[in-house]
Chains A and B, each alone.
Chain A
Amino acid sequence: MTIEIHPGLYNYAIVVMLMMAGLYIVITRGNLVKKIVGLNVFQASVFVLYITMGKIVGGTAPILEAGIEVYSNPLPHVLILTAIVVGVATTALGLALVVRIREAYGTIEEDEIQRQDEAL
C-alpha cells in the first residue's frame, strides 16, 4: 500500500501532525504548564481543521459583491471563533489551577506532586 498525499490535503496532514504532537505532549510531559501548552496545540489542530473546511476553491471572502459567484463558507470560521474562545477560557482556568497548585505544593512537576501526596 502506498500512501500518497494529495496537495489539496496538505492542511489535513498538518492537522493530524499537530493533533498527535499536542496529544503526545499532554501525555508525556510532567510539567503542568507544558501539559497546558500541549492541550493548546491539540486544540489548535482543530481550529485549522475547521478553517480548512470552509475554503472553497476559487472562492473569495464572503462579502456580497456584484460579479462574484463563489464565496468561501463563513460558517466554520464563525464556529471556530466560538471554539477559540472556549480554548482561551480553558487555558486561563488551567493556568489558574496551576498557580493554585504551586501555592499548595510548591511545585508544578507531576511526579513531585504525586510524591508529596503519597507521603501523607
Chain B
Amino acid sequence: MIFQSITQHLPILQVVLPLIAAPLCVLLRRPALSWLFALAVTWASFAISIALFIQLEHVGTIVYELGGWPAPWGIEYRIGTTSAIVLVVVSGIGSVVMPFAKASVTAEIEPARHYLFYTCYLLCLCGLLGVVATGDAFNLFVFLEISSLSSYVLIGMGRDRRALTAAFQYLIVGTIGATSIVIGIGLLYLVTGSLNMADIATRLPEPGTNRTVLVAFAFLGLGAALKLALFPLHVWLPNVYTYAPSAVTAFLAATATKVGVYILLRFIFTVFGAGFAFTAMPLDTMLMALAVAAMFAASAIAIFENNVKRMLAYSSVAQIGYMVLGIGFATVGGVAAGLIHLFNHALMKGGLFMALGCIFLRAGSVRREAMAGIARTMPWTMAAFVLGGLSLIGVPLTVGFISKLYLIRAAFEAGLWPFGVLVVLSSLLAVAYVWRVVETAYFREPSTEAARATEAPLSMLLPTWVLIGACVYFGIDAELTVDTAFRAATSLLGAQP
C-alpha cells in the first residue's frame, strides 16, 4: 500500500529529494557527515531514476500533476523515454562522482566549506533533474537557474584564482542564455496563453503566420545553444572546466551540457515540432554547419593545448558537435545517434575527468609536462585515461565506436554521406590529441611531480573505473542504449507529423 503510493510519486520525488536535502545538508556542518548525507541522497535519486526508467517500459509516458491540478492550469511533470535517459545519466553521474568527491574535495577545498560544497552539489543535481522532469516551460527556466546558480558557486570554489573569473564569465553568459529562454517562453505565452509545453504545441498557429513565434523560436534556440556550449557560443566552457574543482568538472562535463542538449530537443520536437524547426526554419542546416565547425575547430585547438584538463574541455565542445550533428539530420536515426552519444559521452568524459582528478591529487598539476612518465607511478589511473581516450576516438569495443557507427549510418541513411566522412576525419584529430597525452605519460622520463606521485586512493580510482568500465561494457553490449535511444527518437519525431 505505502510502496504503491510511493511509486506513484516517483517523478516529483526525483526532484524534491535533493531539493529538500540541500538545506538539511547546511545544518550538518561536519565535512564527513555532510558528505555521507549527500552520498545517500544522490544514490537514492539514482535509484528513483532507475525505477522511473523501469516503470516507463509499461506505460510509455509518465504524467504527474503537481498538487492534483490538471494540466493546463497546474504544473505537470512529464517523463518520456528521452527524459528518462537524461535522468538516468544525470543522477547516475551524480552518484558516481560523490564517492570520488570525498578525497578530491578534501584536497582541493578547505574543510570549513565542505558542507556548502555538498549543499550546492545537491542543489545543482536538483536543478538539472528538474529541467528534465518538468513539462512546464516556466518551471524549466526556474530549475535551469537553480542548477546554473549553484554551479557558479561550485566552480568558484576552485583553488586557482582564475576559477573566480571563470565562474564570473559563466555567470554572465549563463544568465544571458537563461534570460533568452525566459523571453522565448514569455513570447510563446503571449501567443498561446499556456505554459504547459504539450499544450503550447497544440495551440501554436500555423508555421509562418505569426512573427512572434519566430522571435520566440530564435530566443529559445539562442538560450539553449549558450547552455549546451554549441560552437561558437562555447567560450565560457574551457575556463570553467579547467579551473573548477576536479569533482565539479567531472560532474558538470557529464551532465550540464547534456541537459542543454535536452532543452534543445524538447523545444524543437515537443513544442515547435520538427515541421516548424526544420521545414519552415532552416535550423537543421544551421545545426549541421555549427556542429561540423565545432568538431574540427575545437579538436584542432585541443591538439595544441598543454593543460590536459583544458584539452578535454575543448574535446567536449567537439563531442557536443557530434550530438548536435545527429539532431541536425532531423531523422529518427540521427536523433537516436545524438541520444546514444549523449549517454556515451557522459560516461567517457566523466571517467576521463575523474582520472585527471586522480592525477591532480597526486601530482598537483594536470599540465602535460608534469604528467611525463606518470604511467609508471600511477598505472591504474593512466590505464583508465587510455581507455577513455580510445573511447573518445571511437575505437571498436568502446562506447565511442557505437556512437560514431550510428552517427555515420544515420548520415548515409539521410543521404548526407559527406557528413559521415567528416565524422571519421574529425576522429583523426582526436587520435592526435589523445596520443600526445599517452605518449607523454608512457614514453617520457618521469618529471619531478610524476616521480613523487603514488597511485590514487581506491575511493577515487574505483568510481573512475566504474565509468570507464561502463564505457567498455556499453561498447560491447550496446543493445540497451541503442534500443532506448531509438524508442526515444521515434517518440520525439512521431509526436509531430
Where the two chains meet, the residues of A that have a C-beta atom closer than 8 Å to any C-beta of B are 23, 26, 32, 35, 39, 42-43, 46, 49-50, 53, 76, 79, 82-83, 86, 89-90, 93-94, 97-98, 100-101, 104-105, 113, 117
Contact = CB atoms under 8 A, between A and B. Distances in A.
B1 interface: no
Given A89-B149, A90-B149, A100-B156, 10 more contacts: A32-B168, A39-B176, A79-B195, A82-B142, A89-B145, A90-B171, A97-B156, A101-B161, A104-B161, A104-B164
Given A90-B175, A94-B171, A117-B162, A53 B189 contact: yes
Contacts of B172: 26, 35, 39, 94
Interface residues of B, number: 25
B420 interface: no
Interface stretch (B46-54, B178-186, B294-302, B346-354): B178-186
A13 B191 CA distance: 18
Contacts of B164: 97, 100-101, 104
B189 A97 contact: no
B142 to A, nearest CB: 6
B186 A76 contact: yes
Nearest to B170: A97
Contact of A23 (B153, B176, B182): B176
Closest 5 CB pairs of A and B: A104-B161, A86-B145, A97-B168, A101-B164, A53-B190
Chain B residues touching A, majority SS: helix
Given A46-B179, A49-B186, A53-B186, A79 B168 contact: no
B61 interface: no
A89 B179 CA distance: 14
Contacts of B161: 101, 104-105
B167 interface: yes
Interface in B150-169: 152-153, 156, 161-162, 164-165, 167-168
B182 A26 contact: no
A11 to B, nearest CB: 12
Between B149, B152, B162, B164, the greatest number of chain A beta carbons within 10 A of the residue's beta carbon is seen for: B164
Nearest to B161: A104
Contact of A93 (B142, B165, B171): B171
A50 to B, nearest CB: 5
B138 interface: yes
Given A97-B167, A113-B165, A117-B165, A46 B182 contact: yes
Contact of B152 (A46, A97, A101): A97
Between A83, A89, A105, A117, the greatest number of chain B beta carbons within 10 A of the residue's beta carbon is seen for: A83
A56 to B, nearest CB: 12
Nearest to B144: A86
B171 A76 contact: no
A29 to B, nearest CB: 11
Contact of A43 (B142, B153, B179): B179
A93 B182 contact: no
Nearest to A120: B162
Contacts of A100: 156, 164
A49 B185 CA distance: 11
Contacts of B153: 93
Contacts of A86: 142, 145, 149
A100 B175 CA distance: 19
Nearest to A82: B142
